[in-house]
Amino acid sequence: MDQINEMAERFKLLGDKTRLTILALLKEQDLCVCDIVEILETSQPNVSQHLRKLKDAGLVNENRKGQWIYYALDIADKPYLQSVMDYIPSLKEKIAQLKNNCC
């Protein structure tokens, strides 16, 4: 039952369009908050809150590169989520359109 509860909580997180979009972006490459803010056209606090929830659920991890923190998808140990990610459309074009390479 614990595993089912854990899976249910993670799937609930994917029910939010912003979080699902963030995961789709991170499926393509590691990104910093400012890149995600630019792509989603939303505020930094909003993106940070969603990233915190995803990190707390073990779906993303963070890596420091200099003064910047980059977020990466972390689902290698969650094959049921990898199956879902296989169906998420690519957002490579959105990433390619980044104007401000703030990091």
**Number of neighbouring beta carbons within 10 Å of residue 66:** 7
What is the domain range of residue 36? 2-92
Query: Model's pTM, two decimal places?
Result: 0.90
In a domain, 101, yes or no: no
Per-residue pLDDT for 102 more than 80?
no
Quote the pLDDT of residue 21: 97
Q: What are the tokens at 25? A: 């972006």
Is the residue at 23 inside a domain?
yes
Contact 10, 16 (CB under 8 A): no
Assess if residue 34 is contained within a domain.
yes
> What CATH number does the domain containing 70 carry?
1.10.10.10
The structural domain count of the chain equals: 1
Q: Supply the pLDDT for residue 61.
A: 97
